[in-house]
Structure 1
Amino acid sequence: MTKQLHIVGGGMAGSEAAWQAAQMGVPVVLHEMRPQVGTFAHRTGSFAEMVCSNSFRSDDDERNAVGLLHWEMRAADGLIMQTAAAHRLPAGGALAVDRDPFAEDVTARLRSHPLITVAEGEVTELPADGQWIFATGPLTSPALAEAIGKVTGAQSLAFFDAIAPIVYADTVDMTIAWRQSRYDKGETEEERTAYLNCPMTKAEYEAFIDAMMAADKAEFREGETAGYFDGCLPIEVMAERGRETPRHGPMKPVGLTNPHKPEEKPYAVVQLRRDNKLGTLYNIVGFQTKMKYGAQTEVFRMIPGLQDAKFARLGGIHRNTFLNSPTLLDDRMRLRAQPNIRFAGQVTGVEGYVESAAMGLLAGRMAAAEILGRDLPPPPPETATGALITHITGGAEAKTFQPMNVNFGLFPPIEAKGGRRGRKDRYKAYTDRAKEAFGAWLAM
């Protein structure tokens, strides 16, 4: 009889790991503490619940590293990408989904799989026997985090992550705001008009920055310091790094034309992206925040077009934990101190839904292969998945290890032939090489 694989955590990584292992014929027990034990960020007991953005980011698999990661996961029969396609929302060139139906569908498919059993309740120890994958994410429970620290002999690292607010669409003033994706990106009219845009003059921008900087913020507990992941900075922390920083980040006005005032170029633009299929909810793109709730309502209503906004959810901040994976994990994602334990997802030091799911895909396949009596090496570093695992299990400098999104800087460089390549040609060369290498790995 085939041994069981135990997976702890039903987020993106745990869900994908369970699916991959079960599809390889290995019985899986999927442990999930929610809804019995909740977290700061989760609202439901569904698997793969999206707690921050509803976007898997760019879906361009020819010139974008995260789009390439989408392609690789689809090629590997990935559950997360399959389900995302079924619940896709217009978002220009991005892959955004209707978050609740997406999570409900993932949950239904896992619960109905004949080789997957769901065990509800909290796991607080690292078992000495059996094959286990811990995919408990950045909100690993305190008891389990303590157990991990005891086994590894090292403290988990920590950074602070923030959640963006969500606005009811019918409270946005469309005499001020307008619909447009940046640079009109998208194949259909719906995609080209997927975002709501709120323009700001220089005076409005300056007043907004002043109010945001002066607003009451969430306090950290004694002994905690903020080590934010740069890809998810609170908007006010971004402003603290330079008043113009938000205007060159999420509030950049480029690629947009205000039809209400076509001759007037906005000084800054706040974008809102559709958050559900009905189009009744929109999240404020890049506006993760640690402002207190009362201050958020007051400050965000200073945005032209949002002066009467009502919020379905306000932003928030929480403490995320992750392992120093270059020190603690081998290239099969096993804990060096206890090889029957694997880790996957954000707790390994990758950042983002897609990256987390990709590490779950790998851990599930590697663990299942071991149970079936064979060794599965990681994908080549020329692939997006391989570049990530190479980075977190030895490619990164352990002393300065921080969460990382997939990017072409993690890939082995491509030598230009016949002269210097342009950036688009170079990225296409990366993706062509990756697809060939990943296909060969899947055939192993």
Structure 2
Amino acid sequence: MDKVLNIVGGGMAGSEAAWQAANMGIDVVIHEMRPKVGTFAHQTQNLAEMVCSNSFRSDDDENNAVGLLHWEMRAAGGLIMEMADAHALPAGGALAVDRDAFSAAVTERLLAHPRISVAREEITALPDQGQWIIATGPLTSSALGQAIAAETGAEALAFFDAIAPIVYFDSIDLSKAWFQSRYDKGETEEERKAYLNCPMDRDQYEAFIDALLAAEKTEFHEGETAGYFDGCLPIEVMAERGRETLRHGPMKPVGLTNPHAPDVKPYAVVQLRRDNALGTLYNIVGFQTKMKYGAQTSVFRMIPGLEDASFARLGGIHRNTFLNSPTLLDAQMRLRSRPNIRFAGQITGVEGYVESAAMGLLAGRMAAAELLGQTLPVVPQDTAMGALVHHITGGAEAKTFQPMNVNFGLFPPVGGVKGGRRGRKDRYKAYTDRAKTAWQMWLGQMPAQAA
């Protein structure tokens, strides 16, 4: 048997899938259309380029589901987590990375692997022969998207995804903004100062909301009807849901004290998170937007401390497609109608960099095992990996399926823990303890490598 795995897409999922399969002894070809065919969001030709945020979210592996997913990927020798750790930035209790250094390092490691090669080409049809993983992410090319829709017999579900703006640090007024992580999270002083905060009083907040609602927005073309993923809502959409929505969301003022006016409680706070190791760029947290560029600069400069802000990148919005995976994929993440093709990453209906890479990790191992003439044991649903893959391959209700971040609601219930706030913390710890044991047992059942 020809032990070659083809992977379409060199994002988080495709990169992780390639790494896992190659380390199981399988030759891998990554088919990446950039730079020959560009996208709205990507700016380089590097693999695993981060475009929406530089955050992998919480790194707490005892009380948080995404932190547990980090732990499982590290235990499995995941390249994405290894490189994220190597290029981490201070971010309190979260894991944020220097996005350029991170993607450059992932690219270097993959290209240096003797079993991995990269073909810079666009794949426009579903292959009939060989073992393939399609991990094209939220920006699947038009031609391949049409081929997938034609094969599945139904339109792929769709939603619109938004990107937050990035500000140059030296354009931020530090006489108004201050460094502090919410609730002073982080073990080091640098981590506790991973965020910049811009305070607003009530009048400033109300004026900001008025400007936000009145700003000129990107309009969708006729026929482009789709919802938003709730975890990445544009701020204008949140504001339209109620004037206080942002103040209880990304602009909540809790856990912060303004050293410029310690006795004055801010009515709202805009946070910016460090975006690169040099500290020259800051991402406006939670400020995904569909405002037109001219409107963005005028509205965002209403934020105290950002009156003279210079933007390295303004926000944007693009169409994001994903499969109705519960109806289309089997438990091995294979397309039921073409079992030589697996899907991985955001196109399967998981949301987030970590979740996408995690599904790439599983797809890579599953495909490699099949090429070795073996089948992996079922991933335990008690694990974060297993909870996610079960959700997308049959656990979710197909009629209402939408992108999902990993969360403890996807896990089988754990008994013996009382309710309430303290009970919830104990319950989450019980989830993670159970998951770690199950994941280590699953990893111990891996097939032998190919020669």
1:122 matched residue in structure 2: 122
Aligned residue for 2:227, secondary structure, equals: coil
Change (3 A) 1:419 1:385: closer
Q: AA paired with 1:33?
A: M
Q: Give the aligned partner of residue 380 of structure 1.
A: 380
Q: Give the AA of the match of 2:350.
A: V
Letter in 2 for 1:319: R
Partner of 2:430: 429
**Separation in 2, partners of 1:200, 1:413:** 42
Instruction: Give 3-state SS (helix, strand or coil) of 2:154's partner.
Output: coil
Secondary structure of residue in 2 paired with 1:138: helix
Structure 1 residue ranges without an equivalent (≥5): none
Q: Which residue of 2 aligns with 1:17?
A: 17
Q: Separation in 1 of the partners of 2:378 and 2:207? A: 51
User: Pairwise mapping of residues 392-431 of structure 1 onto structure 2 (< 5 A)?
Assistant: 392-417=392-417, 422-431=423-432
Instruction: State whether residues 2 and 372 of structure 1, in contact with CA within 8 Å, keep that contact through their aligned partners in structure 2.
Output: no
What amino acid does structure 1 have at the position aligned with 2:324?
N
Aligned-partner SS, 1:100:
helix
Tell me, in whole angstroms, the C-alpha distance in 2 between the residues paired with 1:313 and 1:372: 45
Report the secondary structure of 1:83's partner residue. Answer: helix
Shift of residue 418, structure 1, vs aligned partner: 7.5
**DSSP 3-state at the match of 2:118:** strand
Ranges of 4+ aligned residues in structure 1 off by more than 4 Å: 417-421
Conserved? CA contact 1:157–1:324, under 8 Å: yes
In structure 2, how many angstroms separate the alpha carbons of the residues matched to 1:272 and 1:220? 29
- Per-residue deviation at 1:379? 1.4
Secondary structure of the residue aligned to 2:113 is: coil
Deviation string 1:127-159 (CA, Å, 9 cap, x unpaired) is 111000000001000000011111111111100
Q: Look up the SS of the partner of 1:197 in the other structure.
A: strand
Aligned equivalents of 1:377 and 1:326: distance in 2?
20
Residue pairs, 1:327-406, within 5 angstroms: 327-406=327-406
Q: Alignment partner of 1:216: what SS?
A: coil
CA apart distance, 1:398: 0.3
State the secondary structure of the residue aligned to 1:117. strand
2:63, 2:77 → 1: CA distance?
22
CA separation in 2, counterparts of 1:23 and 1:262?
A: 54
Q: Is it true that 1:161 corresponds to 2:157 in the alignment? A: no
1:300 matched to 2:300? The reply is yes
What is the CA-CA distance between 1:377 and the residue it aligns to?
3.1
The alpha carbon displacement at 1:2 in A equals 4.8
Instruction: Return the alpha-carbon distance in structure 2 between the equivalents of residues 423 and 265 of structure 1.
Output: 30
1:86 shift after superposition: 0.6
- Give secondary structure in 1 for the equivalent of 2:133: strand
- Once the two structures are superposed, what CA deviation does each residue of 1:226-270 show, in whole Å capped at 9, x if it has no partner? 400000000110000111111111000000000000000000000
Does the CA contact (< 8 Å) of 1:131 and 1:340 recur in 2? yes
Aligned AA (1:410):
L
The answer on whether the counterparts of 1:2 and 1:27 sit within 8 Å (CA) in structure 2 is no
Give 1:117 shift. Answer: 1.2
Deviations 1:158-208 (A, max 9, x none): 000000000000110000000000000000000001100000001100000
Correspondences of 1:212-227 after superposition (within 5 Å): 212-227=212-227
What is aligned with 2:170?
Answer: 170
Q: Is the contact between residue 417 and residue 423 of structure 2 (CA under 8 Å) also seen in structure 1?
A: no
- Alignment of 1:107 with 2:68, yes or no, is no
Calculate the TM-score normalised by the size of structure 1. Answer: 0.99
1:188 is matched with 188
Deviations, residues 93-118 of structure 1 (Å, cap 9, x unaligned) = 11000000100000011011000011
Distance 2:163 2:223 in 1: 22
Unaligned runs of 5+ in 2: 446-451
Describe the SS at the equivalent of 1:222. coil
Structure 2: distance between partners of 1:417 and 1:64: 17
- Note if contact 1:296-1:314 (Cα within 8 Å) is conserved in structure 2: yes
1:141 equivalent in structure 2: 141
Q: Distance in 2 between matches of 1:417 and 1:310?
A: 50
- TM superposition score normalised by structure 2: 0.97
* Code of the aligned partner of 2:16: E
State the match for 1:69 in structure 2. 69
Change (3 A) 1:419 1:197: closer
CA contact (8 A) 1:2 1:26 kept: no
Tell me the equivalent position of 2:315: 315
Question: Residue 378 of structure 1: CA displacement?
Answer: 3.5
Q: 1:419 to 1:263 in 2, by over 3 A?
A: closer
AA aligned opposite 1:424: K
State the AA in 2 paired with 1:430: Y
Q: C-alpha deviations, 1:66-86, integer Å up to 9, x for none?
A: 000000000000000000011
Equivalent residues of 1:186, 1:192 under 8 A apart: yes
C-alpha separation in 2, matches of 1:104 and 1:426: 39
2:417–2:426 Cα contact (<8 Å) kept: no
Task: Specify the alignment match of 2:31 in structure 1.
Answer: 31
SS at match of 1:276: coil
Q: Structure 1, residues 338-357: CA drift from partner, whole Å, max 9, x if none?
A: 00000000000000000000
Q: CA RMSD in A?
A: 1.0
Is the 2:168–2:311 contact (alpha carbons within 8 Å) kept by the matching residues of 1?
A: yes
Distance 1:355 1:119 in 2: 25
2: CA distance between counterparts of 1:191 and 1:366? 38
The answer to whether the 8 A contact 1:332-1:377 is kept is: no
In the TM superposition, what whole-angstrom CA distance separates every residue of 1:391-424 from its partner, at most 9, and x where no partner exists?
Answer: 0010100001000000000000111258876111
Q: Distance in 1 between matches of 2:119 and 2:221?
A: 33
Amino acid at match of 2:435: A
Offset, 1:225: 1.9
**In the comparison of the two structures, how many residue pairs are matched?**
444
* Letter of the 1:267 counterpart: Y
Deviation by residue 1:4-32 (Cα, 9 ceiling, x = unmatched): 00000000000000000000000001100
Residue matched to 1:91: 91
Counterpart contact for 2:417–2:427, Cα < 8 Å:
no
